[in-house]
Amino acid sequence: MNSKSKHEKYVIVISYDAFSQDNWEMASQQPNLSKLIGNGAWTTKLKSVYPTLTYVIHTSYVTGVYPNKHGIYHNNPFQPFIPEEDQSWHWFRRDIKVRTVYEEAMKRGMKVAGILWPVSGKASIQYNMPEIKAIKNENQALKILKNGSPFYSMRMEYKYGRYRKGVEQPYLDDFSTMCAVDTIKRKKPNLLLLHLIELDDTKHALGTKGEHIEQAIRRMDKRLGDLMHAVEEAGIKEHTTFIVVGDHGQLDVRYKVYLNRLLKDNGLIYEENGEMRWRAYVQGAGGAAYLHVREGDPEAQVRALEVLERALAEDRYGIESIFGRNELDGLHVDNAFHYMLEAKEGYAFEDAADEPIIVDLHQGGIKYATHGYSPNKPNYTSVLVISGEAVKNQFELGEVEVIDIAPTIATILGINFTDCDGRALTDIFKTNGVTV
């Protein structure tokens, strides 16, 4: 260990996508996560933001504020009539309206790495391989090079690309972990942001229960072990804090609901001169949805609400609530929206206007789960583990929020990061002054 590293502080944030309270019993008994828990603080009562979508939440992770301030309200910008597989996402740092904790770290001369971290395209992160996807005829490798750190990304691809098979799991998370291990040992970043996705992908594809979930959890624990071993090899174990955080839970879905078909049947979505037009449009977010209304068309809002309120009265459409601004203010939703829809458990909202209104997945033999639901749904919290030499051992945190992550990172690194909606979780530390 060199003399400089003795005095530096290191934080490794592992976003364990879809790691929720229902996974805790098994995951907490795995060899590597159990070590982190034994040497740290934990909770299964981590409350997310609304809607519980990955890009919305990850932006709250690094800004410490709710979506009505940071500006990322959905994974995708609004793109009516474009199939989801062809849509752009909020890939780029420029879409975030406020400062981030990683930029504040860099201002203090610290090194930062980001590996498949959402909403980090073209961010000024020194070692950046952003989460970004080629669409239509784009080239995946070139898109990453263009929007990340080109030499760093090329080196990672050259060394470990052969282990990856596109976005197929478990190979993608194995690749990301190899890149993180290499980066820890060679670069010793003060802050590393790593997004691991296999558990989320598995739940979406096969549901929230079964051997497939147990296998994904075991593989994830192996990855945690690889990262912990890398920290030891880098000689920075005593000064490193691990943050393992789940962004949302998932709920099993039987029915996909296409509310835009209802709006189309009522003339609010229509074809004109060979092109689809809309006066009102529902942007699905899995367990939630936004109602968009054409600006300057108050009649469309009235008519759309009439349609949706009639649907609310019928159980088969799966609408649990229509939230107005009073409810949305309490959920810290962007002020641009006047209404949102919340789905019942077992239902999810999709965009297409030309599908049947209700599709029963079980009739087609399909298992599926998703997220997006209100963070106030029962038993829908996520998991947080913070572990390091300065953290109390086996300390149960209780109720915390995803907006608490950024100010806690800042406190560990000794960064002034006030003016957050969240709070630094100072109760976890062995002493009032954090000495990592």
Residues 405/241, Cβ–Cβ less than 8 Å: no
Q: Phi, psi (5° rounding) for residue 287?
A: -80, 5
Tokens of 356: 């049947």
| Helices (H), ranges, 39-116 | 54-63, 67-70, 101-107
Q: What residues are paired with 348 via a beta bridge?
A: 256
Give the pTM.
0.96
252-370: which CATH architecture? 2-Layer Sandwich (3.30)
Q: What CA–CA distance (Å, rounded) separates 298 from 77?
A: 23
CATH no. of 3-250+378-428: 3.40.720.10
pLDDT tens-digit profile, the chain (436 residues): 343 444 589 999 999 999 999 999 999 999 999 999 999 999 999 999 999 999 999 999 999 999 999 999 999 999 999 999 999 999 999 999 999 999 999 999 999 999 999 999 999 999 999 999 989 888 888 899 999 999 999 999 999 999 999 899 999 999 999 999 999 999 999 999 999 999 999 999 999 999 999 999 999 999 999 999 999 999 999 999 999 999 999 999 999 999 999 999 999 999 999 999 999 999 999 999 999 999 999 999 999 999 999 999 999 999 999 999 999 999 999 999 999 999 999 999 999 999 999 999 999 999 999 999 999 999 999 999 999 999 999 999 999 999 999 999 999 999 999 899 999 999 999 985 555 4
CA distances to 83, 175, 362 from 213, in Å: 29, 20, 20
**Fold match between domain 3-250+378-428 and domain 252-370:** no
The Cα–Cα gap between 227 and 424 comes to: 25
- Residue 152 C-beta-side C-alpha neighbours within 13 Å: 21
Q: Prior bond to 51 cis, omega within 30?
A: yes
Cβ(177)–Cβ(200) below 8 Å:
no
pLDDT (0 to 100) of residue 140: 85
Neighbours of 3 (CB within 10 A): 6
CA 78 to chain centre: 18
Per-domain boundaries in the chain: 3-250+378-428, 252-370
Q: Specify the 3-state DSSP secondary structure of 280.
A: strand
The tokens describing 130, both together, are: 């952003």
What is the rounded CA–CA span in Å between residue 45 and residue 66?
Answer: 18
pLDDT in the model for residue 255? 98
Q: Which two tokens stand for residue 373?
A: 């639901």
- Note the pLDDT of residue 137: 86
Q: Are 61 and 402 in contact (CB under 8 A)?
A: yes
- Whether the CB-CB separation of 371 and 386 falls below 8 Å is answered with no
